[in-house]
């Protein structure tokens, strides 16, 4: 039997929040610099939180080799009716990550926290070919009588979180944008990739990468809108491309591109009366002027 060991903070199972720690003891994933910045901004850490989901990403409703496509006026236009889509698979991946994020937020609420800073999204392999999506971060609580309606989530570090507050903005939620696209390496593309081809752009590959990035950005914007933010601070941008032989045509390939964008939705809470950080020291000459 394959065994798996997790060295991170222990969870309590799907949907079960963590009870507050006895005696006010808390743990944190913050560095000393982050801890100082969070406290300086009026927040206290209350504990680490974890949300996890193990899923099986199975059959997406399509098979075989898709037809090739091109992009016109920013939209994907198929060359044939055999073009397949991985939109359902992308939706499943987004749902799995969102569920893990909501479980971390539930743990934050159970600890009395107002939000999570320093959120890390991780992907791990699970036995039997399953995939684990996990969310880790540090729950914090404001030294204030005003409490948010629901815990916020943010990928910002402790220092960036403090800077955001000093500038008069607050995080409202972690937004995800996932794009998953496949393109068949047909004769239009193959003739540009042979060793006898001239130096030229392979527009099929360019369209694949451009389209999957736009799809991820579109979904990121829609996800951020759910949190009611006015802006979006994007930090993590991942793009991976894999290839596989076409089962119907041995000489051709399918290229699968996945783009993942991670950002924090932010909203203005009013112009802060505090400065955007510690003020500089005034330097004065001590010797007498001659």
CATH at 227? 3.30.110.70
Range of the domain at 137: 29-58+67-268
pLDDT at residue 212 greater than cutoff 60: yes
Q: Looking at residues 40-60, what average pLDDT do you find?
A: 86
Provide the pLDDT confidence category of residue 160 given band limits of 50, 70 and 90: very high
Q: Do 179 and 216 meet the contact criterion of CB atoms below 8 Å apart? A: yes
Q: How many domains does the chain have?
A: 1
Task: Report CA torsion sign: 267, 270, 271, 272.
Answer: negative
The answer to whether residue 244 sits within a structural domain is: yes
pLDDT at residue 11 greater than cutoff 50: no
The answer to whether residue 253 sits within a structural domain is: yes
Provide the pLDDT confidence category of residue 254 given band limits of 50, 70 and 90: confident
Provide the pLDDT confidence category of residue 111 given band limits of 50, 70 and 90: very high
The answer to whether residue 155 sits within a structural domain is: yes
pLDDT at residue 213 greater than cutoff 70: yes
Give 3-state DSSP helix, strand, coil % of the chain, rounded to 5: 25, 35, 40
The answer to whether residue 159 sits within a structural domain is: yes
pLDDT at residue 272 greater than cutoff 50: no
Tell me what pLDDT residue 4 has.
38
CA 98, 103, 107 angle in degrees (round to 5)?
A: 145
The answer to whether residue 103 sits within a structural domain is: yes
Nearest to residue 182, comparing CAs of 261, 251, 252, 83?
Answer: 83
Nearest to residue 79, comparing CAs of 188, 239, 240, 164?
Answer: 188
Nearest to residue 43, comparing CAs of 104, 115, 103, 150?
Answer: 115
The answer to whether residue 23 sits within a structural domain is: no
- CB neighbours of residue 119 within 10 Å: 24
61-81 pLDDT tens trace: 445 555 565 666 766 666 555
Q: Do 64 and 24 meet the contact criterion of CB atoms below 8 Å apart? A: no
Reading the block at residue 11, the tokens are 């969870």
């Amino acid at each position: 039997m394959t065994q798996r060991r997790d060295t991170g903070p222990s969870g309590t199972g799907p949907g079960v929040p963590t009870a507050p720690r006895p005696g006010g003891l808390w743990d944190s994933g913050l560095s000393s610099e982050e801890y100082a910045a969070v406290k300086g901004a009026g927040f206290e850490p209350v504990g680490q939180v974890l949300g996890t989901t193990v899923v099986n990403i199975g059959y997406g409703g399509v098979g075989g080799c898709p037809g090739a496509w091109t992009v016109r006026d920013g939209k994907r236009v198929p060359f044939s009716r055999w073009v397949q889509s991985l939109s359902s698979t992308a939706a499943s991946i987004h749902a799995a990550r969102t569920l893990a994020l909501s479980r971390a937020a539930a743990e934050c609420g159970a600890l009395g926290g107002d939000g999570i800073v320093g959120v890390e999204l991780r992907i791990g392999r699970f036995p039997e070919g399953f995939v684990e999506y996990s969310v880790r971060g540090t729950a914090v609580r404001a030294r204030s009588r005003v409490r948010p309606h629901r815990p916020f989530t943010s990928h910002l570090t402790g220092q960036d979180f403090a800077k955001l507050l000093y500038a008069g903005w607050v995080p409202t939620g972690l937004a995800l944008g996932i794009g998953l696209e496949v393109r068949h390496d047909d004769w239009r593309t193959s003739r540009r990739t042979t060793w006898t081809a001239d130096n030229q752009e392979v527009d099929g590959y360019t369209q694949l990468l451009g389209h999957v990035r736009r799809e991820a950005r579109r979904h990121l914007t829609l996800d951020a809108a759910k949190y009611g933010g006015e802006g979006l601070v994007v930090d993590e941008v991942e793009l991976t491309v894999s290839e596989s032989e076409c089962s119907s045509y041995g000489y051709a390939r399918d290229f699968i591109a996945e783009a993942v964008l991670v950002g924090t939705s932010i909203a203005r809470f009013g112009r802060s009366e505090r400065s955007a950080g510690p003020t500089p020291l005034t330097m004065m000459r001590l010797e007498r002027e001659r």
